[in-house]
A = this chain, B = another copy of it.
């Protein structure tokens, strides 16, 4: 037997698996999103730098956070609007959100009058690609991967334009594009759509709403993103949909985990890095140390509506001030708007507060939060009881923020323990003082300090090193919808069954005619004779 014969006699496969590729220093293109989105993304980028990677961040010249001095190469492109335009559109958007009480899923948001803000964000991409010099520079740079925030869609367009593998970094994905982009089954029977205030256990009526919302997203989301896809189609010189833009994503880094998410199927290339932002605690400044020390035995309550909202309607602010005045704790309220006239002595307004550092202080008794993902995870990591006070604003844009808000209180174990402790009443803040024990659902327990951050860094490097993560890409991407649901196969098998049944039936019928046909006719003729 010649050696060449052996494979025929053995079911043989040859696999070479070498743990190589570590220490590979590469080039990373970063397409971030402005505002609070950038805070944690920047943490990942800054952790990639000491590993020897070259990082280029592409940002519009007009922005809130992106223009700040950074340790890495920043390439700016000019945009057609001013900082004032940006602020005005954002304010208009925020104001319109305070006014409405939208609970109908993402649909009301899609048809909101304040879409100027999004149009402005989407337009960045046209500006980027107008900058021929920048585009040429990016082309010549031969990056290993794109690390992007998909919020303004431009990162996805850039990745597709330069045919680069991409890592998405986001809290959640608006509309149904996580399911479509990652090919993750998401049965509407127990996976609630965003912003519907539903849990995974729904009544029939709720399931009807959920399915309608699901259908509504498929119907209306493409038009919400029309400007973005129009620009992408222009740039790519071929018509593309949002699904086309999301499909090539190699790895999805989502700033969430199943402490807050309801159980549902996930794909292996969707990596949960919730809590990435809360392990880097610093000592308090003298100012805040003083506030905390002065709070006495009652301790402090931290109150923030997020980094993006500076003021709220006056009536609302007064309502809140009134309520805060009734608790014994010292309240540190991050607020840059007009001071409410009824503000109580225990409430201190500050323009900014070191949220995570304060929450980590042993005197932190509660955290009143707008339920942004950063805040929620900071509350969880530091084990501080939270009062959820969602304002109806950009956080809603992340389609699962609302789910988060509810889940943290509404998942079975939470509900059982938390609601039995506190009911739904704000005066339960008092009980918060006395009841120190609670429920732990904290998946983050398992992560040592910095581990979610390391996980994010690992996956960005992975995609850079391997030019994607093809072994994590479900083959479902290459199937048509009827193939995905096996409809062609089912049709084929049914056709066989029907053919067999038809042949058997015909054969039987023929056989019956042969056997009984004569008799039947005889009988009939006999019968007719008797008449």
B-binding residues in A (CB < 8 A): 1, 3-4, 6-7, 9-22, 184-185, 187-190, 199-201, 204, 207-208, 211-212, 258-259, 261-269, 319, 322-323, 326-327, 379-381, 383-390, 405-406, 408-414, 417-419, 421-422, 424-429, 432, 435-442, 444-446, 455, 458, 462, 465-466, 470-476, 478-479, 483-486, 488-490, 492-493
Interface pair A11/B263, CB less than 8 Å apart: no
Interface core residue of A12, A421, A446, A474 (most chain B CB under 10 Å): A12
Interface pair B258/A208, CB less than 8 Å apart: no
Given contact pairs A3-B326, A19-B442, A211-B486, enumerate 10 new A-B contacts (beta carbons under 8 Å). A4-B426, A7-B426, A11-B389, A13-B387, A16-B432, A19-B444, A190-B475, A207-B489, A211-B490, A265-B267
A471 to B489, CA, bound (A): 36
A421 to B13, CA, bound (A): 12
A4 to B428, CA, bound (A): 9
Interchain CB contact (< 8 A) of A211 among B405, B424, B478, B493: B493
Interface pair B428/A14, CB less than 8 Å apart: yes
The 10 closest A-B pairs by CB, nearest first: A16-B438, A13-B409, A200-B475, A6-B426, A185-B185, A265-B265, A190-B475, A263-B474, A3-B427, A18-B438
Interchain CB contact (< 8 A) of A380 among B7, B13, B17, B265: B17
Interface pair A422/B17, CB less than 8 Å apart: no
- Given known A-B contacts A1-B323, A6-B323, A441 and B17 have beta carbons under 8 A apart: yes
Interface pair A489/B19, CB less than 8 Å apart: no
Interface pair A15/B388, CB less than 8 Å apart: yes
Q: Which residues of B contact A12 (CB under 8 A)?
A: 387-389, 424, 426
CB distance from A395 to the nearest CB of B (A): 13
- Given known A-B contacts A466-B440, A490-B211, A409 and B15 have beta carbons under 8 A apart: yes
Q: Which residues of B contact A387 (CB under 8 A)?
A: 12-14
Interface pair A486/B269, CB less than 8 Å apart: no
- Given known A-B contacts A11-B390, A385-B14, A263 and B189 have beta carbons under 8 A apart: no
Interface pair A16/B435, CB less than 8 Å apart: yes
Name the residue on B nearest A390 (C-beta): B11
- Given known A-B contacts A12-B424, A14-B424, A458-B446, A20 and B437 have beta carbons under 8 A apart: yes
A462 to B442, CA, bound (A): 10
Interface pair B9/A319, CB less than 8 Å apart: yes
A259 to B471, CA, bound (A): 7
Name the residue on B nearest A431 (C-beta): B14
Name the residue on B nearest A413 (C-beta): B470
A484 to B474, CA, bound (A): 23
- Given known A-B contacts A204-B489, A263-B471, A483 and B189 have beta carbons under 8 A apart: yes
Q: Which residues of B contact A269 (CB under 8 A)?
A: 263
Interface pair A190/B474, CB less than 8 Å apart: yes
Interface pair A442/B17, CB less than 8 Å apart: yes
Name the residue on B nearest A268 (C-beta): B258
CB distance from A52 to the nearest CB of B (A): 17
Q: Which residues of B contact A267 (CB under 8 A)?
A: 263-266
Interface pair A323/B439, CB less than 8 Å apart: no
Q: Which residues of B contact A10 (CB under 8 A)?
A: 323, 389, 426
Q: Which residues of B contact A14 (CB under 8 A)?
A: 385-388, 409, 418-419, 421-422, 424, 428, 432
Interface core residue of A9, A14, A200 (most chain B CB under 10 Å): A14
Interface pair A385/B16, CB less than 8 Å apart: yes
Q: Which residues of B contact A9 (CB under 8 A)?
A: 319
CB distance from A471 to the nearest CB of B (A): 5
Name the residue on B nearest A14 (C-beta): B422
Interface pair B440/A319, CB less than 8 Å apart: no
- Given known A-B contacts A3-B427, A262-B475, A418 and B15 have beta carbons under 8 A apart: yes
